[in-house]
């Protein structure tokens, strides 16, 4: 048996060459919704059609597989698309940001993920159905059932042990004393935690500094994890945050412990899947700033369907990013003034009645999430069934 991640197609190929009968499981540590972006319409032959189109383009243009895949599969346009289970949007809204580094990689990943999804046996899904559009769950389940395969929806795959102050103090003493101090001074749910994950970072960092500025102006305490190697913190920003005494910027943060901490009120996130899962499990509503991959669609699911998040629209950058947004009918202005104005408005709503409704909604999901691994919880049962299916 082989267990691979979503980008492990080469391993699957090698394993299949050695043994046709080897059972190959794929772990989906992303939203089920993300497969929609990566695999596109699900059908018996869609992956072959995708690859054929790309190979034809290679033949015509003499481009490499990587370049051709990028050009054929990543085509932001003004066309109106209707992703499964989500409201309509322009196709270019799947690319809201100009990325800091642009390697032609994504189109190729589409092809390998499409192949992998068709050629693996079962899939182990780290998500839970309550945060996915029901239509996506149904379509994927049907797609796997078509060839007698199964999706084992075992989520939430998060840390299940209880938060204690001691573990926070052990993992990150600076953050622990800072956040405990905030709780004393500012009370419960007062702090905004900011993280764009370990990779993503804005191509216009002034927009992030504007967000910090607005938080300081409103005396809202915050912790920002700036793990991305692409982030360069200017000294004047570091200085301003340090002297404020209500902000902390740290290269690493114990994210799940921060989210579980009573001082934490909101999570500014890129909308990556693990962050979403951890936020739901902790019952912390989100303010999303999506960059790429499944993040833009995840964000729409959180804001429009689940009503547990806001999306910052004025932080969009780059050519497709600044095109009109279908939902609002307007294009982002692309200025720091617009970012400032929107951030102020969103924070006012977040800390008012509107935000309280979103918090209520995510607390209900937290209850569901906590039950998933209880005695007869759906996640636990699915995991047990998966183990039985491989003879354990
Ligand atoms: C996808 O699978 C086919 C075989 O079914 C293979 O020929 C092709 O090279 C694979 N594509 C990629 C990008 O690995």
356 and 292 together in one domain: yes
> Is pLDDT of 160 > 70?
no
Task: Give the ligand 1 atom nearest the CA of 108.
Answer: 13
Phi, psi at 351, each rounded to 5° = -90, 10
**Alpha-carbon gap, residue 58 to 45, rounded angstroms:** 20
Domain count, the chain: 2
CA-nearest residue for atom 2, ligand 1, is 115
Amino acid 163: pLDDT: 56
Q: Which domain holds residue 27?
A: 2-158+372-389
Same-domain check for residues 256 and 379: no
Same domain, 179 and 204: yes
Q: Residue 35: its pLDDT value, please? A: 86
How far does CA 65 lie from the centroid of its chain? Answer: 27
Q: Are 151 and 252 found together in one domain?
A: no
Q: pLDDT, tens digit, for every residue of 321-373?
A: 999 999 999 999 999 999 999 999 999 999 999 999 999 999 999 999 999 99
pLDDT tens-digit profile of 38-92?
Answer: 655 566 677 888 899 999 999 999 999 999 998 888 878 899 988 889 999 998 9
Which domain CATH number covers 251?
Answer: 3.40.50.2000
- Between CA 207 and CA 224 the distance in angstroms is 14
Our CA angle for 290, 291, 295, nearest 5°, is 55
CA–CA dist 96, 298 (Å, integer): 13
Q: How would residue 244 be classed by pLDDT, with cut points 50, 70 and 90?
A: very high
372 close to 366: Cβ distance less than 8 angstroms: no
42 plus 19 within the same structural domain = yes
| Residues 245, 275 within the same domain | yes
50 & 154 share domain: yes
- Vertex 274 angle, CA 343 and 352, to 5°: 30
Residues 366, 380, single domain; the answer is no
Q: Are residues 6 and 119 in the same domain?
A: yes
The separation between CA 13 and the C-alpha centre of its own chain, rounded to angstroms, equals 28
* Predicted model pTM: 0.95
Query: Is 327 in contact with 306 (CB distance < 8 Å)?
Result: no
Residue nearest to atom 1 of ligand 1 (CA): 115
Closest Cα to atom 14 of ligand 1: 112
Residue nearest to atom 4 of ligand 1 (CA): 115
pLDDT over 90 at 102, yes or no: no
The Cβ of residue 353 has, within 10 Å, a number of other Cβ atoms equal to 7
Ligand 1 surroundings by CB, under 6 angstroms: 9, 51, 111-112, 115
Share of the chain above pLDDT 90, in %: 77
CB-CB contact of 51 with 68 (8 Å): no
Q: Same domain for 205 and 122?
A: no
Best residue among 57, 115, 117, 119 to mutate for probing ligand 1's pocket (most ligand atoms within 8 Å of CB) is 115
């Amino acid at each position: 048996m082989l267990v691979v991640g979503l980008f492990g197609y080469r391993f699957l190929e090698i394993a299949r060459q050695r043994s046709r009968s080897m059972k190959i499981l794929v772990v989906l540590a992303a939203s089920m919704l993300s497969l929609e972006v990566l695999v596109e319409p699900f059908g018996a032959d869609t992956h072959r059609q995708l690859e054929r189109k790309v190979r034809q383009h290679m033949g015509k243009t003499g481009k490499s597989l990587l370049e051709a895949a990028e050009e054929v599969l990543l085509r932001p346009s003004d066309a109106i698309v209707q992703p499964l289970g989500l409201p309509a949007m322009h196709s270019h809204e799947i690319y809201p940001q100009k990325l800091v580094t642009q390697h032609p990689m994504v189109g190729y990943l589409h092809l390998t993920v499409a192949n992998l999804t068709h050629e693996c046996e079962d899939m182990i899904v780290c998500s839970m159905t309550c945060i996915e559009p029901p239509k996506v769950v149904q379509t994927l389940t049907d797609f796997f059932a078509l060839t007698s395969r199964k999706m084992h929806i075992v989520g939430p795959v998060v840390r299940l042990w209880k938060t204690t102050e001691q573990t926070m103090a052990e993992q990150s003493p600076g953050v622990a004393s800072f956040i405990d101090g905030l709780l004393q001074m500012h009370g419960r749910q007062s702090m905004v935690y900011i993280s764009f994950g370990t990779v993503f970072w804005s191509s216009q960092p002034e927009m992030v500094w504007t967000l910090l500025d607005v938080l300081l102006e409103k005396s809202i305490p915050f912790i920002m994890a700036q793990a991305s190697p692409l982030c360069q913190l200017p000294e004047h920003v570091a200085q301003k945050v340090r002297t404020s005494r209500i902000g902390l910027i740290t290269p690493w943060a114990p994210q799940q412990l921060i989210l579980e901490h009573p001082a934490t009120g909101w999570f500014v996130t890129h909308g990556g899947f693990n962050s979403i899962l951890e936020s739901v499990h902790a019952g912390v509503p989100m303010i999303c700033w999506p960059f790429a991959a499944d993040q833009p669609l995840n964000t729409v699911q959180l804001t429009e369907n689940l009503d547990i998040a806001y999306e910052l629209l004025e932080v969009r950058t780059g050519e497709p990013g600044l095109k009109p947004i279908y939902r609002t009918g307007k294009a982002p202005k692309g200025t720091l003034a617009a970012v400032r104005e929107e951030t102020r408005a969103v924070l006012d709503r977040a800390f008012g009645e509107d935000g309280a409704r979103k918090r209520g909604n995510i607390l209900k999901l937290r209850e569901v999430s906590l039950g998933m691994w209880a005695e007869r919880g759906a996640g636990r049962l699915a995991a047990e069934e998966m183990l039985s299916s491989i003879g354990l």
